[in-house]
Amino acid sequence: MNGGGSSSKEEPTVPGSKEIPNLDFILDIPLEVSVELGRAKMLISDLLQLGQGSVIELTKLAGEPLEIFVNQKLIARGEVVVLNRKLGIRMTDIISPIERVRQLNA
């Protein structure tokens, strides 16, 4: 016991601000979460020729991290996992909170 002025129950702070605002009133708002596997550009003529069994080549390489979006804003990257026979994604790189706030203003 050091008897110093530091308390173990201090509220976390964000650099450059005095305190974190209470966000309880927005915690129940639903958000759309999506994971992008890759992208492709096609001509309309090529699109019209697609049929069952057709394969579309994507820009991402196999094993490359997938991008995770919340309300169409990039928040993280991750890798595919299987959970109880369903696909999931393990986050491997999360965009910093400051960058996420910047994206909201973009």
Percent of the chain with pLDDT over 90: 58
Arithmetic mean of pLDDT over the chain: 84
Sheet holding 73-83, edge to edge: 33-36, 66-70, 73-83, 86-94
Q: DSSP string covering 31-84, please?
A: --EEEE-------HHHHHT--TT-----SSPTTPPEEEEETTEEEEEEEEEEET
CA pair distance 52, 43, nearest whole angstrom: 18
CA pair distance 83, 9, nearest whole angstrom: 36
pLDDT in tens, 68-104: 998 888 999 999 999 999 999 999 999 988 887 787 7
Which of the four pLDDT bands, split at 50, 70 and 90, describes residue 2?
very low
Q: What pLDDT shows up at residue 18?
A: 64
Domain ranges of the chain: 31-105
Q: What pLDDT shows up at residue 75?
A: 92
> Between 5 and 55, whose confidence is greater?
55
CB 54 within 8 A of CB 68: no
CA pair distance 13, 44, nearest whole angstrom: 52
Domain 31-105 bears CATH identifier 2.30.330.10:
yes
**What pTM does this model have?**
0.65
Rounded to the nearest 5°, which phi and psi values hold at 58? -100, 165
